[in-house]
Every structure is written in structure tokens, then in C-alpha cells.
Amino acid sequence: MSARQPSLIARWLPPLLLVALLLGLWELAAQTGWIADALSLRDYLVPAPSEIATTLWDNRSLLAENAWVTLREVLLGFAVALVAGVLIAVLLHLSPLMRRASYPFIVASQAIPIVVIAPVLVVWFGFGIGPKVAIVALICFFPIVVNTLDGLGTADEEQRKLMRSLGASRGRTLTLLEAPTALPYLLSGAKIAVAVAVIGAVFGEWSGADAGLGYLIRLDDGNLEVARVFASTVILAAMAVTLFALLALVERRLAWWGAGSPGGGR
């Protein structure tokens, strides 16, 4: 906390310069046709950043419409995973028996190949928002549960003894000690989750949808609309980065005490 924070400019300048440099190189390489030549492709298959920007602008309403569909899937799926993940983490924390019994399944849930399960879910639940939300939730669930569970177990033995000595019940120890200790862990799990949630939504849309950026990308891929594929990708990346940054902000506001067992002293 006492460590000096670099100023806003100092923090953002290096990544911005790097992005500008890469974009510049790309622009140059695309304009002069180096990449297309090297890959023996037609020029229109390798759009320059300027062309992508133009496409973004010209297709703004189409892209916005589909981005909104994807964003809704992401937010809903994330919310489902957050609620279910936290509830299950608390349950498993309170019951060591259940924890031992179900932990393997939680780990296994992470091992499910989304590419395989996505089409099945679409067959089951149709082309609507349902399967996409389910896939996003499935992807987000794991980091949230595991991190929250870790966080709930972080308060040390001594700390629990103090609560007991002060007359705290199991429930009060959970709300007054363990939950605040776990909050920073939960939020860093949630950050990981939103970052991958967008990928989950795109997978869901690929497997069968009538709207969304993933659907649009698939369509454009078929029609060799390469510039618009890139435009959609840019929006997806921006979406993930924005959600991540928002959660980082929440983390700094709500869980400023950070990870670790509370109450140092010595």
C-alpha cells in the first residue's frame, strides 16, 4: 500500500506504445502486400488495421446488435456461475465430507471439452440463449468455486480460536471472518472467469445460433468476409478486457485488504 503507484500516464504509456507499434507494422505489411505474398493469398484476405477500422464503422449497427446478444450470454452465464459457484463453495467449506466426495466432480467439470458438449447442449436446448448461458456458466464455474473455497479456508487456526473465544457461532465465524477473508480470492477467480466467459459464448454460438458475434464470425468465415471477422474479434477482445477491468475495479473497491490470512501483528 505504501509502495508508490506509477502515474496514470506511466502505467498506460508502454502498452499503448507497443500496440501502436504492432498496428503500424501490420498496416505496413498489409498495405505493401508482404503478408499476402508470403502466404500466397489474395490481398483482400489480409486486411490492414485501417480496413478493419473502416469495417467496424460501416457495420456498426450490425456488430452492435450481435455484440449485445453475446454480451447478454456472457453476463447471464457469469452470473449463474457466480451464484452457483459461491453457494457450492460455501457448502463444501462447511461440510468436509461433501468436499471430499464432490471435489473430483468439480475438477472433472473443468475437463469437459466444451467443443464436444456445445453441440449436444444445442441439440437439447435449441438455438436460444439457454445452451450458450450453460456453456459460459460451465466455463466460469470452476475458477470461482476453487478460488472461493481456497479463500474460505485461508483464515488460520488461531483466528478461528479467537472467534470461538469471543463467543462466535459457526455461522458468525463464516460471515465475520471467513467470508471477508475469501472475498479477494472470489474476485480473482471471477476475473479469470470473465476472461474466458467470452470464449465460452462464442463456442456456444458456433454450435448453433441465429445471432451473436460467434454466429456472425462463422457466417463471415464462409463468405470470406475476413475484415469483418477481424472486426468481430476486436469487439470480443474489447468485451473481455472491459469486463476484466471492471472486476479489477470492484476488487480494489470491495476487497482492498487483499489475499492472505487476516491479522498479522508479528
Partner 1 sequence: MIETTTPKTQAEAQSPESPGAAIELTGVAHSFGDLEALAGVELNVAPGEVVAIVGASGCGKSTLLELIAGLAEPSTGSIAVGGERDAAARLDACAWMPQRDLLLPWRLAVDNAALGLRLAGIGRAEARERAGGMLERLGVGEFARSHPRQLSGGMRQRVAFARTLLTGKPVLLLDEPLAALDAITRAELQELLVETLAAERRTTVLVTHDVEEAFFVADRVLLLSPRPGRVVWSAASPVDRSEPRASAVTAPAFAAVREAALEALAEGRG
Which chain residues interact with partner 1 by CB under 8 A? 1, 158-159, 161-168, 172, 176-177, 180, 257, 262-266
Residue 129 or 163: which CB sits closer to partner 1?
A: 163
Do residues 115 and 206 make contact, with C-beta atoms less than 8 angstroms apart? no
CB of 249 to partner 1, least distance (A): 18
CB of 45 to partner 1, least distance (A): 55
Residue 111 or 266: which CB sits closer to partner 1?
A: 266
Q: Which of 140, 203, 151 is nearest to 181 (CA)?
A: 151
Residue 5 or 165: which CB sits closer to partner 1?
A: 165
Residue 50 or 169: which CB sits closer to partner 1?
A: 169
CA distances from residue 56 to 46, 62, 68, 84 in whole angstroms, order as listed: 16, 9, 15, 37
Residue 98 or 249: which CB sits closer to partner 1?
A: 249
CB of 264 to partner 1, least distance (A): 7
CB of 258 to partner 1, least distance (A): 8
Q: Where are the alpha helices (DSSP H) in the chain?
A: 8-31, 34-38, 49-58, 60-94, 96-111, 114-125, 130-152, 157-165, 170-173, 179-206, 213-222, 226-254
Q: Which of 109, 133, 108, 113 is nearest to 122 (CA)?
A: 133
CB of 256 to partner 1, least distance (A): 8
CA 71/CA 255 separation, integer angstroms: 26
CA 140/CA 79 separation, integer angstroms: 9
CB of 144 to partner 1, least distance (A): 21
Residue 60 or 164: which CB sits closer to partner 1?
A: 164
CA 33/CA 52 separation, integer angstroms: 16
